[in-house]
């Protein structure tokens, strides 16, 4: 398997696995019984989440399809390896395929993943390259849940673990609904990443990068909106969880804030806030049915300018 990755992929996921295991560990020490309980709870939450998302988004017709999404409950190194596999389609045309270049890219990616690994709670991976057992067919997406991080987050902030598990699952399954509704979305993102990289390499303006960020901001903003719209009866401690996540972001250490700036995460968070404002504005004015037209056509994605002016998007797309 290692040779297959080395020959066919621009980065080597096994390097990410090793580096994260060395630098970040697998997670906090817990008893095997507790680990099994957390994993079981996450799988139950993942099974319940699609119906919750469908109720919020009104995309009921996609529920059964999304519910078939494979779910992986992982420790930090396993998540890092999966994330390295996931970025392969984004880097395929960026790296030249040389052994030295690819090894350097693998090490750089592994370092970034080692920094992120302790903080990632879950991820929807639309670029999954794994195969269905016994069939060898590529799957359209998968859900990655980082069990030790979710457990530690609930413990550190004195939160109900079952509510946290469903909260994280709802957020990630919101992304699954997006990519299921817009089957073209994966290819559009890959194309925008390549355009952004090419424009930066050629010293052009950051317009392509801004357009990529606008798309990502809408996807994340929509997931945030869905998460925050789940009825309190379904996740009783939802507001406490939301507050804990906000405090967790705000309480980053000085070193982490510096690294955030180097990685562009500060910009990312501001873009996501803009995305949530855009989504909330459209849904408030046009309902979910109006907003959901965004998934019908790649041309319905908002531009960077429209992200800041939701009404201009509504005029262009919905009028």
CA 139 – CA 145 distance, rounded (Å): 17
Kindly report the CA angle at 206 between 255 and 179, in degrees rounded to 5?
80
Kindly report the CA angle at 189 between 164 and 172, in degrees rounded to 5?
10
Residue 176 lies in a domain: yes
CA 21 – CA 27 distance, rounded (Å): 9
Q: What is the pTM of this model?
A: 0.86
CA 261 – CA 25 distance, rounded (Å): 24
Q: CB–CB of 34/151 below 8 Å?
A: yes
Number of domains composing the chain: 1
Residue 210 lies in a domain: yes
Nearest alpha-carbon partner for 118 in 35, 28, 30, 37 = 28
DSSP code, position 301: S
CA 176 – CA 268 distance, rounded (Å): 20
Residue 76 lies in a domain: yes
Residue 95 lies in a domain: yes
pLDDT digits (tens, 9 = 90+) for 271-302: 778 999 999 999 999 999 999 999 999 999 99
Residue 82 lies in a domain: yes
pLDDT digits (tens, 9 = 90+) for 194-215: 888 888 777 766 788 889 999 9
Residue 319 lies in a domain: no
CA 62 – CA 65 distance, rounded (Å): 5
What number of H helices and E strands is found in the chain? 16, 3
32 contacts: CB under 8 Å, gap ≥ 6: none
Region at 76 (left for phi over 0; alpha for psi -120 to 50; beta for the rest) = alpha
CA 65 – CA 178 distance, rounded (Å): 12
Q: Return per-residue pLDDT of the chain as tens, 319 residues.
A: 233 333 455 567 777 778 777 777 766 777 888 889 999 999 999 999 999 999 999 999 999 999 999 999 999 998 988 888 887 767 665 555 554 456 677 777 777 888 888 889 999 999 876 555 555 556 678 999 999 999 999 999 999 999 999 999 999 999 999 999 999 999 999 899 888 888 877 776 678 888 999 999 999 999 999 999 999 999 999 999 999 998 887 776 655 555 555 555 555 667 778 999 999 999 999 999 999 999 999 999 999 999 999 999 999 999 8
Which residue range(s) make up the domain with 17? 2-314
What Rg do the C-alpha atoms of the chain give, in angstroms? 19
Residue 211 lies in a domain: yes
Residue 175 lies in a domain: yes
CA 153 – CA 192 distance, rounded (Å): 33
């Amino acid at each position: 398997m290692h040779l297959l990755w080395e020959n066919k992929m621009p980065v080597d996921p096994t390097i990410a696995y090793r580096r994260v295991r060395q630098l970040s560990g697998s997670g906090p020490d817990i008893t095997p019984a507790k680990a099994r309980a957390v994993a079981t709870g996450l799988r139950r939450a993942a099974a319940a989440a699609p119906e919750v998302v469908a109720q919020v988004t009104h995309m009921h017709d996609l529920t059964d399809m999304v519910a078939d999404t494979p779910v992986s409950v992982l420790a930090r190194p396993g998540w890092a390896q999966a994330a390295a596999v996931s970025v392969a389609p984004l880097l395929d045309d960026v790296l030249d395929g040389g052994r030295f270049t690819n090894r350097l890219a693998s090490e750089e990616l592994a370092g970034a993943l080692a920094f992120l690994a302790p903080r990632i709670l879950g991820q929807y991976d639309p670029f999954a390259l794994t195969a269905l057992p016994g069939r060898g067919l590529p799957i359209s997406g998968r859900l990655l849940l980082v069990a030790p991080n979710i457990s530690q987050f609930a413990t550190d902030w004195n939160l109900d673990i079952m509510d946290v598990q469903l909260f994280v699952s709802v957020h990630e399954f919101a992304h699954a609904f997006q990519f299921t509704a817009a089957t073209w979305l994966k290819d559009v993102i890959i194309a925008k990443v390549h355009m952004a990289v090419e424009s930066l390499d050629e010293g052009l303006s950051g317009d392509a990068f801004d357009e990529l960020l606008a798309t990502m901001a809408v996807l994340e903003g929509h997931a945030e909106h869905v998460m925050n719209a789940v009825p309190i009866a379904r996740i009783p401690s939802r507001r406490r969880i939301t507050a804990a996540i906000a405090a967790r972001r705000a309480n980053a250490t000085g070193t982490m804030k510096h690294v955030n700036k180097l990685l562009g995460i500060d910009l990312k968070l501001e873009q996501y806030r803009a995305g949530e404002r855009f989504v909330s504005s459209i849904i408030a004015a046009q309902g979910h049915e109006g907003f959901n037209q965004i998934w019908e056509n790649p041309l319905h994605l908002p531009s960077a300018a429209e992200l800041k002016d939701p009404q201009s998007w509504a005029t262009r797309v919905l009028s």
